[in-house]
Structure 1
Amino acid sequence: MARLADYFVVVGYDLDNRVEGEGQGRILQRFPEKDWEDSPFPQGVELFCQPSGWQLVPERHPASFFVAVLTDINSERHYCACFTFWESLDNPQNKAGEADEADEDLAVIQPAKVFAPKSLVLVSRLDYTEAFRNCLGLIYTIHVDGLSTTLETVIGNLLTCVIPIAGGSQRTITLGAGDRQVIQTPINDSLPVSGCSVAQLFRQLGIVNVLYLFCAALTEHKILFLSSSYQRLTDACRGLLAIMFPLKYSFTYVPILPGKLLEVLSTPTPFIIGVNSFFRSETQELLDVIIADLDGGTITIPECVHISLLPEPLLQQTQTALSMVKKTVVKNLLMNAGKS
């Protein structure tokens, strides 16, 4: 048995701490406050809540959800599910006496209200994306709509919920707010929990490109995923690891790399990393990195990189088998769509 979630964290914009003009995140609340002996609290959570940087914006952005992955010193992975919403606050640049005389004209055109991000975060050693999405969505709904159930009750039930690590059983859980959700445990804890990530990876990049990435990962090359969607980055990295099973990837694995840590891309060791396409220009000078553009459906292989593909006839047999699977999946989807 294992805890569904080890920590619940609220991370917000730090109005009192700006470094070189850039906003910072700050942990506002954390439960439990004391570290578990078997799972210390991972450092740097606030960086991964806003990978593109903590910023104030003039208009409210829609709420978003994604799962980042942090790896501790013992190579244990911690899944950080982040639900981010935006709260209105008075523009700090309009505070009396803050702008000097030279900036008076600029200060006049500043909006009276701005919106700051706030993230609800679950930290877990288990990978249950949909369960985390549902739990954080429920907590957000209680916070916004003021339901009769208290947040303390829901968070307490969440942090004390334990489920089997494996066995293939279904576990129905409730957080005490009239909710019910079913968690399907894997048959074996060594099997990857891939969900739809493998199918999405093939759909986004195509069979040939995915086979290139598969062989690149097996031969210890550097692989970088680009996308404007954080969850798409996580799913792509998860899908690539899944098709490598039963082999286990032991190099640097960061599905969502914060912008402040882009220097990691210059490491001499192999990696599988995801970066928001907002930082595309910073990746142009990487001469030994294979770049997979999930939004454009392409991969770029530098001239100095040689990827050893599967030998024939295995390569052709694999492509044929995958094409047949793809056709079957599409056919089933069309049939189901026709019935609905």
Structure 2
Amino acid sequence: MQARQPHVLTMAAETLSALLFPFSWQHVYIPILPARLLDILQAPVPFLIGIDDEVLTMAEKMAGGGIPDEVVQVDLDRNEVLCSEAQAQAVVLPQKPYSKLYKALVPYCRAPSMEEGIGGNAASAFTMAPPPDVEAAEHSGRSVPLAEMSDEA
């Protein structure tokens, strides 16, 4: 998955993970790929990775070919799925079930874009979180200071 904003990558990765329920993803899962881990894109294993545009540009310039042809990319900003020609020609479902599924899903495929305001303020939620109540945590009974324990001995 690729996007300009990191919070979009995290939301999409977590949504895909939740959609697998009751199953779980047992392979490489990195919602936001740091630049120092770009080599993981060459791994011969299934992965679900979110990559921002800046790191994607670095990946495409990497020695060794950048992103392999086997990788299916989903551009979350442009609502596009990018794949190789061989993958595009692959027959996944026979025509009749494909048509039936396609017709059933089309009404649900129109989603507001990021420019229309969905998710635009998600990153600001982290800056608005209330500060932790340190005093309440101290009196919660979960921990006993070492000084109190030594007085009882």
TM-score normalised per structure 2: 0.56
Show the counterpart of 2:83.
301
Q: In the aligned structure 2, how far is the partner of 1:308 from the partner of 1:270? A: 20
Match of 1:320 in 2: 103
Return the alpha-carbon distance in structure 1 between the equivalents of residues 95 and 23 of structure 2: 22
Q: State the 1:257 CA deviation.
A: 1.1
Give the counterpart of 1:310 among 93, 97, 121. Answer: 93
Higher normalized contact order (CA 8 Å, seq sep 6+, divided by chain length): 2
1:231 matched to 2:7? The reply is yes
**Aligned mate of 2:47, from 249, 261, 271:** 271
Q: CA deviation at 1:263?
A: 1.2
Once the 2 structures are TM-superposed, how far is the Cα of residue 317 of structure 1 from its aligned partner?
2.1
1:321-336 alignment, distance < 5 Å: 321-325=104-108
**Structure 1 partner of 2:71:** 289
Q: Label 1:325 to 1:240 Cα distance change in 2 as closer, same or farther (>3 A).
A: same
Q: Deviations over 1:92-121 (max 9, x none)?
A: xxxxxxxxxxxxxxxxxxxxxxxxxxxxxx
The gaps in structure 1 that reach 5 residues or longer are 1-224, 331-340
Q: Greater share of strand residues, 1 or 2?
A: 1
Unmatched segments (≥5 aa) in structure 2: 61-65, 113-153
| 2-structure distance, mates of 1:292, 1:272 | 11
- Residue 256 of structure 1 corresponds to 32
- Give the distance between the partners of 2:87 and 2:106, measured in 1 at CA: 27
* Secondary structure of residue in 2 paired with 1:299: strand
Residue pair 2:29, 2:49 contacting (<8 A) in 1 also: yes
* Cα displacement (A) at 1:295: 1.2
1-side partners of 2:91 and 2:29: how far apart? 22
Structure richer in helix, relative to its length = 2
Tell me by how many angstroms 1:292 deviates. 1.4
Give secondary structure in 2 for the equivalent of 1:289: coil
What is the aligned-residue identity percentage?
A: 28
Q: Is the alpha carbon distance of 1:292 and 1:258 closer, same or farther for their aligned partners in structure 2, counting shifts above 3 Å?
A: same
